[in-house]
Structure 1
């Protein structure tokens, strides 16, 4: 799908405005109440699912609205983490972020460039508060996906590499589930990121461990086997993505990633 087609499908402000509603959110840092943009049910359609769990949408993308930002104090994070903030972390935001914060004038409808800005702001907050590597890994991964939509290979690979480094650290140091993923799903994602970064030999080791384990779920085994076979048959080519022909809203395995 070309960049022009992507932009047409995923940024049509007049159409998308009717798909959004405001959700009242109270900032855990400064207690300001603000409107967080949310997408109405059944507004988006799934086009395809990539092999690293990225979901491609038509009409409107939930990823563009995945970061909440308090415009009063500058606190930002992926929305699933937003309200889960310790007193220590809130103090760090007030000390390090708020004094340098300048309010942003965000439009009613977000495009991919705004989404990237907000993911980077979230990442800055994660580093400021010393968030777990798993949170930083997911933030980096979603940034990589945004650059994939822009067909910016250089930045995509850069952020995939950062996602891999943080996810690998999380795998060895954090208890499962890691950001909603069980042990074998995390192993698969590490293997797949390695494959995308041309670390095929390492990738094969991770996939083989999943395939040979008696504890790994069959769905993850099948994914690992597909990617392992791909490496062996087409070592120098990018794979076709794992397609999803259904237009129904995803509510299962991939739902944790948007």
Structure 2
């Protein structure tokens, strides 16, 4: 797809930084443009090559350096804003991004948001979700080593979030979250932990039939690998 066609699926959205009140425009994917081609077992959505919403998921304020996923951008707490001015802004060097983003630029932007999340000591789930999305971008680039590195970071953060945070977490209810912990463990070769989370998912009375079936599929994959 050429650049003109991609730009037809984007529009400029006016954004106000919740930290420094700066106004800026951010390229945003039109709601009807993304076309889902498939879904991976860890909830990664693969889009047909029209336009990929993951590439435009992070908002960055060039004035103060605050960066976050769109779902989190406006939710920063007042006391965290001071941490942006003291921990982020002094180190910030403004960046100019092209209108059309790709996997590598998306990784850079997700990493900026992750650095913000670390410096602002945000919730474990936020850091984990950013790490997971970075892993997905490396998956698109077929970089299995970097994908594994960030899947591991994501799993560590989600393990902590499971015991400390309220559900739903990034749209995932407890059953889907337990399944995801099993699936990430399986992808990383942690077979016993994967089987434990799959079993918890399957026996939970609150698990949906769809999620139970995904957990059974995960268990079968492990079983077939060990035959």
TM bin, normalised by shorter chain, reads: over 0.9
Residue 179 of structure 1: how far off its partner (Å): 2.1
CA distance in 2: counterparts of 1:80 and 1:163, whole angstroms: 18
Give the TM-score of the pair, scaled to structure 2: 0.96
Instruction: Tell me the residue number matched to 1:157.
Output: 148
Q: Between the two structures, name the one with larger relative contact order (CA 8 Å, sep ≥ 6).
A: 1
Q: Which runs of 4+ in 1 moved over 2 A?
A: none
What's the Cα RMSD here? 1.2
**Partner secondary structure for residue 28 of structure 2:** strand
Instruction: Tell me the residue number matched to 1:57.
Output: 47
**Partner secondary structure for residue 80 of structure 1:** helix
Q: Please say if 1:196 is aligned against 2:199.
A: no
2:161 to 167, 170, 181: 170
Instruction: Tell me the residue number matched to 1:99.
Output: 90
Map 1:1-258 → 2, pairs under 5 A: 12-58=2-48, 59-235=50-226
CA distance in 1: counterparts of 2:59 and 2:3, whole angstroms: 19
Gaps of 5+ in 1: 1-8, 237-258
CA distance in 1: counterparts of 2:124 and 2:171, whole angstroms: 14
Gaps of 5+ in 2: none
**Partner secondary structure for residue 81 of structure 1:** helix
**Partner secondary structure for residue 105 of structure 1:** coil
Give the TM-score of the pair, scaled to structure 1: 0.85
Residue 41 of structure 1: how far off its partner (Å): 2.4
Cα 1:206–1:73 change in 2 (3 A) is same
